Structure 1
Amino acid sequence: MHPTIPGFTYRRVPVDGDITLNVAVGGSGSPVVLLHGFPQTHLMWRHVAVELAARHTVICPDLRGYGASDKPAEDAGADGLTYAKRTMAADTVALARALGHDRFALAGHDRGALVAIRAALDHPEVITHLASLDVLPTLDTWDVMHGTSAAVGFHLYLMAQPPGLPERMIAASADAFFGHFLDIWTRDPRAIPADIRAAYLAASRASVPSVVADYRASAGIDVVHDQADRDAGNLLRMPVSVLQQDWGTALGFDAAARWRAWAPDLRHTTVSCGHFMAEEAPQDVVGAVLDLLTR
C-alpha cells in the first residue's frame, strides 16, 4: 500500500495536452492548492491538508515530473520550457480550473513555492493569496549564493549542468543523493517516518531526469522570466505570507528584505524547525495559511 492523505480522494487530471497530474482532493469550501517541494511528493502536506480540509477544499497535486504525475522528456529545443516554472504554474491553474475553481489560494514549499510564485506573477487574477515556505524567489536565490556559503546549495549547481552528467551521477546513487537532503534538512527525524521516507525515495529514484530538468530550468529560463518581471516592476499584489528558517541570517542576507522587494503586502515569519516545516511544524503552517486567508 502506498501512503495516502487520510480522507482525501485521488484522481488523475489532464492539464496540458497529454500531461496528467496525480492529485489528492479533500474538504469543502474556498479552494487552497498546496504544492510540494524536493525531494518529496504531495504527501508532505498530509498533516496540513487534513487540518485545512475542515474549512477549505484542499488540492494537493504531484508536480509534473514528480511523484505519480506524468514526467515528459525535457525538450532541449524548447529553451527549458518543459520544466519552466511558468509551465508548471500553468499546470496548476489548469488543474484548479478542471476541478471547478477559477480563483484559489496557493501555498508552496521549496520547488512548489517557486511554481507558486510564478503562478502568482503570471496569473494575478487567479491567485487570491500566496504562501511560500522556506525558499527565496529564483532570481534572489542565485543573487545570494556566493563564496563558501554557497556550498550548501551544491545540488543547484550540479543539476544546472547540461543534460547527461548530472542525471548519470544522481541515478548511480539515487537513494543516497535524495536521502542526503531528507537527512540534513530535517531537525526532527521523526517528522518523516519510514513509510513516507520510502515513498519519497521511490518517487525520486523514478524521476531523476525530470527532477534534474526542473532544477536546470531554474538556472536558465526561470531566471530569464524573473528578471523580466523585475525589470518591468511586476509585483505580487495579493496578500503574501512567507515562512522561513533563520537561514537568511546564517548566510549573510536579509531574507525579509528580499521578499519585500516582490511583495508589498507581506508577512514574513521565522519558524524554529528544519526545512520540511509542513512535516516538522504543521500547526505553524496551518496557522499561517489560515491567517493569510483572512487578509
Structure 2
Amino acid sequence: MTDLTIPDFDTARLPGADGVMLNVASAGDGPAVVLLHGFPQTHLMWRAVAVQLRREHTVIAVDLRGYGASDKPDADTPDVYSKRTMAADVVAVAAHLGHERFAVVGHDRGALVAVRAGLDHPETISHVGILDVLPTLDTWDVLHGVDAKVAWHLYLMAQPAGLPERMIEAVADDFFASFLDAWDPTGTTFAPELREHYVRASSAAVPSIVADYRATAGIDLETDRADRAAGRRLAMPVGVISQDWGTRLGFDPAEIWAAWSDDVTYEPIQAGHFMAEERPEPIARFVRDLLAR
C-alpha cells in the first residue's frame, strides 16, 4: 500500500452536515455500510476489511471531521465536534452518495459516532457495529482507581482549551506514536509508511482531535445522560466486538451494551485495540454477521 489508499476505492471530498468537507473512500455494490475510524487513525484503518466487504456491499469509509484529510473547523462552540454533529456528517455523506438507509460500523471514536447516529437517526441507520469501546456515559463510569491510567489521555484532553493543545503540540509525534505502539501487542500491525501516515495526520490535527475528546467529557456526556433519562435506546440490531479490558476495570461489557439495545450481541476477541488491522478476517466476518441479522 505504497500510495496510502484503499485499493480500487474512489476517493472524494463530500459535504457533511454544515458544509464541512469530509474525505471519503467508497466502492462496491449492494446494501451500504459506513466505516468510521478511531484514534489516532484515519479511514485507512479499514483498508483490509473494506476490500473484503465490497464483494457484497457498498462500502463507504470516512475521515471524521477533524481527522485525516477532512476539514478541521475551529471549535467555536462545543457542538462543532459533538458526536451528534459527526453523526449528522455521516448521514449527509451517505445521502450524497444516494443511500437513505445504511449500516454504520465504528472503531473507538468512530464507534461513539456510530452509536449517536443510531440514536439520532433510527429511520436511517439499519445496523450499528461497535469495535472496542463503551458508550460515552459508561466509559466515564467505569474509569476509577489506578487502572484508569489506561485512559489518561481522556483526562488530559478534557481540560479547558489551551494547555492540552500546547502540551501535545510540543511532542505531537511522540504523543500519537505512543498509542500506536502501546496498543499494538504484536508490534507488527502497522507498516512503517502507514504508521508514519497516522502520526503525521494526527500531529497536523491536534486542536481538532483535542476538541473531539473534550466534547466527550462535556456535550456528548450530557446528550447520553439525556437519552438515558428518556429511556432512549438503539432500535436496530447492534453488534459489539471487544478485547477483554472489562476484567481489569471490573465491568461486564455485554451488560452495559444491553442497557442501550434490546437486540445486541457481544463477542470477545483475542486482539489488541487496533483489531481491524491486526485481525481483519474476523472483523470482516463480524461485520457480515451483523449485517445479515
Scaled to the shorter chain, the TM-score interval is over 0.9
Match of 1:66 in 2: 67
Unaligned runs of at least 5 residues, structure 1: none
Match of 1:16 in 2: 17
In 2, Cα distance between equivalents of 1:53 and 1:64: 24
Match of 2:289 in 1: 291
The residue matched to 2:146 in structure 1 has which SS?
helix
In 1, Cα distance between equivalents of 2:47 and 2:198: 13
Q: How does 1:171-250 map to 2 (within 5 A)?
A: 171-250=169-248
Q: How does 1:58-137 map to 2 (within 5 A)?
A: 58-75=59-76, 78=77, 80-137=78-135
Task: Measure how far apart 1:149 and its partner are.
Answer: 1.1
Match of 2:43 in 1: 42
Question: Could you tell me whether the CA contact under 8 Å between 1:84 and 1:214 is conserved in 2?
Answer: yes
- What residue identity is the alignment partner of 1:263? S
TM-score by length of 2: 0.98
The residue matched to 1:189 in structure 2 has which SS?
coil
- What residue identity is the alignment partner of 1:133? L
In 2, Cα distance between equivalents of 1:47 and 1:172: 33
Task: Measure how far apart 1:83 and its partner are.
Answer: 0.1
Match of 2:58 in 1: 57
In 2, Cα distance between equivalents of 1:277 and 1:17: 32
Match of 1:148 among 146, 153, 162: 146
- What residue identity is the alignment partner of 1:29? G
Residues matched between the structures, number: 292
Match of 1:257 in 2: 255
Task: Measure how far apart 1:191 and its partner are.
Answer: 1.3
In 2, Cα distance between equivalents of 1:128 and 1:199: 32
Q: Confirm whether residue 159 of structure 1 aligns to residue 157 of structure 2.
A: yes
- What residue identity is the alignment partner of 1:4? T
Task: Measure how far apart 1:2 and its partner are.
Answer: 4.4
Task: Measure how far apart 1:192 and its partner are.
Answer: 1.0
Q: Confirm whether residue 169 of structure 1 aligns to residue 167 of structure 2.
A: yes
When the two chains are superposed, the root-mean-square deviation of aligned CA atoms in Å is: 0.8
In 2, Cα distance between equivalents of 1:131 and 1:17: 25
TM-score by length of 1: 0.98
The residue matched to 1:229 in structure 2 has which SS?
helix
Q: Confirm whether residue 26 of structure 1 aligns to residue 27 of structure 2.
A: yes
In 1, Cα distance between equivalents of 2:127 and 2:253: 20
In 2, Cα distance between equivalents of 1:294 and 1:54: 14
In 2, Cα distance between equivalents of 1:147 and 1:189: 28
Task: Measure how far apart 1:255 and its partner are.
Answer: 1.1
The residue matched to 1:89 in structure 2 has which SS?
helix
Task: Measure how far apart 1:18 and its partner are.
Answer: 3.0
In 1, Cα distance between equivalents of 2:11 and 2:164: 33
Question: Could you tell me whether the CA contact under 8 Å between 2:17 and 2:85 is conserved in 1?
Answer: no
Residues 218-242 of structure 1 deviation map (CA, whole Å, 9 limit, x = unaligned): 0000000000000000011111000
Question: Could you tell me whether the CA contact under 8 Å between 2:258 and 2:264 is conserved in 1?
Answer: yes
Structure 1 residue ranges, 4+ long, deviating more than 2 angstroms after superposition: none
Task: Measure how far apart 1:193 and its partner are.
Answer: 0.9
The residue matched to 1:149 in structure 2 has which SS?
helix
Question: Could you tell me whether the CA contact under 8 Å between 2:64 and 2:70 is conserved in 1?
Answer: yes
- What residue identity is the alignment partner of 1:43? L
In 1, Cα distance between equivalents of 2:68 and 2:288: 27
The residue matched to 1:11 in structure 2 has which SS?
strand
In 1, Cα distance between equivalents of 2:247 and 2:67: 31
Residues 46-84 of structure 1 deviation map (CA, whole Å, 9 limit, x = unaligned): 000000001100000100000000000011xx3x10000
In 2, Cα distance between equivalents of 1:138 and 1:264: 19
The residue matched to 2:35 in structure 1 has which SS?
strand
